[in-house]
Amino acid sequence: MRVWFSERHRRHATDPIRFHDEPYAEVPARAERIRTALLAGGFTDWAEPADHGQAPLLAVHTPGLLEFLQTIYPASRGLRPATAFFQADTFATRSARRRSPHPWAQVGYYAFDIEAPFLEGTWEAAYWSAQCALSAADAVLAGECAAYALCRPPGHHALADQIGGFCYLNNAAIAARYLQQGRPTRVAILDVDYHHGNGTQEIFYADPTVFFVSLHAHPDIEYPFFWGGAEERGEGPGAGFNLNLPLPQGTGDAEYLAALDQALAAIRDYAPRYLVVSLGLDIAQGDPASLAGFAVTTAGFRAIGERIAALELPTLIVQEGGYRLDTLGENAVAFLRAFR
């Protein structure tokens, strides 16, 4: 199985950032730990992403968001005091009556939380993260059974016109739409990240051609809180094509696999042409980016990969979360070996 990876992810150099007096969890070492473990585990077919331009991004995101992503950091440099990174300060609430061109107002309009800071290289890293997903999608379209995009920064919290939760561009959504090639081809997205993929859900919430299925921590106890309930089933033509399976704190291998079987049965019934997997490794026990936490083991990751691979669908795997650095690599290898 080929792996798409870009060293440009390092341009999103988040190591010095601290939020709530704690280290920022989404750091360059995440991708590097996974890369090192895959190479040691025999994954030797690596590729640089091709540049597909902005057209596939605009199939999912608004022109305003893309312009904002490219211009907000330079605009913030005129503020005093200027810091190494820029983040939301004032948010456009539901009672907001106007828009302001001020950089703080802009980031508050396009962000729904403070967890997606901007550095000098953020746009470059996010752009090439999306290109990794698109290049892996090309391989699946060309007939490869499975392809893995080692994306950083992740993407599944990014909505069509908002950022948040470490995410700027929704890599999985961009790839899913690209796989359709302008036709109503059925695509299923299976999100196995610990946190609900609210951005992906909302992008396709009224679209019957993309079936979104998510296993995640219950939104009553975990971020992103405002999305992810079992009652969220889609709307309009997309009604019935959104399936959320929220799980309780402490969910371990057996409980997770039982819910996964339910998700896979629904995907089989949908009969998609392609499968996109939003791979979150933060379901692992002890992941530091969780408030409650699951307890999935490395053996559990292996079983999860095997059951998804047993669908025998052309599969694009897009890296999302996972923040426990000491187990990140071995869990990635355990999951991905099922697709080799």
Q: pTM of the prediction? A: 0.96
* pLDDT over 90 at 79, yes or no: no
Q: What is the mean pLDDT of residues 297-310?
A: 98
pLDDT at residue 89 above 90? Answer: no
SS3 state of residue 28: coil
| % of the chain exceeding 70 in pLDDT | 99
Res 80: pLDDT: 67
**Does 22 have pLDDT greater than 90?**
no
CB 146 within 8 A of CB 158: no
Q: Which residues are catalytic?
A: 157
Q: What is the pLDDT of residues 186-219, one digit of tens each?
A: 999 999 999 999 999 999 999 999 999 999 999 9
Predicted confidence at residue 95, as pLDDT, reads: 75
Compare 87 and 177 and report the one with higher pLDDT: 177
**Largest Cα–Cα separation, the chain:** 56
Phi/psi of residue 273, nearest 5 degrees: -80, -35
**Cα–Cα distance, 54 to 71 (Å, whole number):** 15
State the average pLDDT over residues 148-176: 98
Residue 283 is predicted with a pLDDT of 98
Check whether 293 has a pLDDT greater than 90. Answer: yes
The dihedral sign for the CA sequence 45, 50, 55, 60: positive
Say which amino acid occupies 206.
Answer: A
Helix (H, G, I), strand (E, B) or coil at 217: strand
For 128, phi then psi, to 5°, come to -80, -25
Q: Which domains does the chain have, with CATH numbers?
A: 2-56+121-339 (3.40.800.20)
Continuous segment of H or E residues that includes residue 32: helix 29-40
Residues comprising the chain, all counted: 340
